Amino acid sequence: MPTLPKTMKAIAISKPGGPEVLVPVERPLPEPGHGEALIKVAAAGINKPDALQRMGGYAPPPGASDLPGLEVAGEVAALGAGVSEWKIGDKACALLAGGGYAEYAAVPVPQMLPVPRGLGMVEAAGLPETFFTVWTNVFERGRLVGGETFLVHGGSSGIGTTAIQLARAFGARVFATAGSAEKCAACVKLGAERAIDYRREDFVKVLKDLTQGRGVDLILDMVGGEYTQRNLDALAVEGRLVQIAFLQGAKVALNLEPLMRKRLTLTGSTLRPRSVAQKGEIAAALRAKVWPLLESGAVKPVVDSTFPLAEAARAHARLDSSVHVGKLVLTV
């Protein structure tokens, strides 16, 4: 077993605020507990929830690291008791409940997946948070199947670029919204049949035109607010609306009549507080059904840009500006 240092460099949230509150710190190395592995981090993915946590929302669940970072890729550096599936030196990517912005991170092994063949550490680090989220919300809760129609809002986001490609790979007709012509072009390149610039077009009208008035079978939404009524209006009979965030607010006045008339399902979920066992089930489904698509190149991670760990604040400034397409990744 290689000798491990006692401390590591990490990025902490010094107080709630803008990107500048992300500061370098020295921390003790996390110790892998029973059923956990310690990963020597090569790259860590950045997600919108990290920015929400930085601003004082989205607190880590009990027992999770206070350091930001929901996903990493790297090499297994140590194993806790009771772990036989992994060995030291294996390359893995992992979903974390926190603590990814660091040189080492401890993770329950059910939340680890092998780095897909053909992908580097940077690409692998950006997979877990969006792929777990899209899988469980689009295919499990949302029950999307081939031949159905699917709309994802925020199509150029980390979540959006993943959802477009996976829905397309499983045979759905995919539509996306995004906030500029360039972002719409990126969505189409990833497999959206039509991307809707929400600053210039009404997505309800465009979708009705594209589906001969029928509407879409599934919407994955992170916006909420005034989108919620329009989402219900844009759904087909037996349609499903899956909510994964409320960037424009969770409190809305709604006419729920379409719920009855069209027999709609309104649901949602958040990944971080779910149990290790539930995350492990999602990991197993991804390994069986999605990892082969990554290894064949049918689905490709979209990395917008990388920043050294020490420059996490600069990376968050780019995340906040929302000019990015796909994932931002920290390199360690």
Ligand X SMILES: NC(=O)c1ccc[n+]([C@@H]2O[C@H](COP(=O)([O-])OP(=O)(O)OC[C@H]3O[C@@H](n4cnc5c(N)ncnc54)[C@H](OP(=O)(O)O)[C@@H]3O)[C@@H](O)[C@H]2O)c1
Out of 27, 40, 48, 141, point to the residue binding ligand X (CB under 6 A). Answer: 48
Site membership for ligand X, residue 231 (CB under 6 A): no
For ligand X, give the closer residue by CB, 29 or 93. Answer: 93
Tell me how far, at minimum, the Cβ of 226 lies from ligand X, in Å.
Answer: 10
For residue 313 the two structure tokens come to 């604040």
Region near ligand X per CB under 6 A, out of 30-38, 109-117, 209-217, 244-252: 244-252
Say how many residues touch ligand X, by CB under 6 A: 25
Site membership for ligand X, residue 222 (CB under 6 A): yes
For ligand X, give the closer residue by CB, 142 or 154. Answer: 154
Contact set for ligand X, span 164-193 (CB under 6 A)? 178-179, 183
Region near ligand X per CB under 6 A, out of 22-30, 44-52, 186-194, 257-265: 44-52
Site membership for ligand X, residue 53 (CB under 6 A): no
Contact set for ligand X, span 82-121 (CB under 6 A)? none
For ligand X, give the closer residue by CB, 260 or 277. Answer: 277
Out of 319, 329, 330, 332, point to the residue binding ligand X (CB under 6 A). Answer: 319
Q: Cα–Cα distance between 295 and 302 in angstroms, integer?
A: 15
Out of 133, 165, 228, 231, point to the residue binding ligand X (CB under 6 A). Answer: 133
Site membership for ligand X, residue 141 (CB under 6 A): no
Out of 71, 123, 129, 221, point to the residue binding ligand X (CB under 6 A). Answer: 129
For ligand X, give the closer residue by CB, 79 or 271. Answer: 271
Site membership for ligand X, residue 68 (CB under 6 A): no
Residues engaged in binding ligand X (CB under 6 A):
47-49, 129-130, 133, 154, 156-159, 178-179, 183, 222-223, 244-245, 247-248, 269-271, 319, 322
